[in-house]
Amino acid sequence: MLNSTLLAAATAPLQWSPTVAVIIILANILAITFGKLTIKYPSVGPALPSANLFGGFGLPGLLATTAFGHILGVGAVLGLHNIGRI
């Protein structure tokens, strides 16, 4: 009984597309910008090969901001898919 209710409420699966990629990229740029403005010591930890290319972040700062960006992006993609925009 519960399985049939869950299957009836399910939507069509989301297919990967360039639109999804652009949303994830924009979310990562937003997260990196937010991290650059709010992280007190962004360059602490192991340095990256080309720090200027990565906004002056160390490895922990870059991993943290891009992980946050992916969380934001997945939320945006799923939300847009749920309302039928993607």
Taking the alpha carbons at both ends of the chain, their separation in whole angstroms is 31
pLDDT score for 29:
93
pLDDT score for 11:
65
Handedness of CA 61, 72, 21, 30 (dihedral sign): negative
pLDDT score for 79:
93
Give per-10-residue mean pLDDT for the chain (86 aa).
Answer: 62 86 95 90 82 79 92 94 87
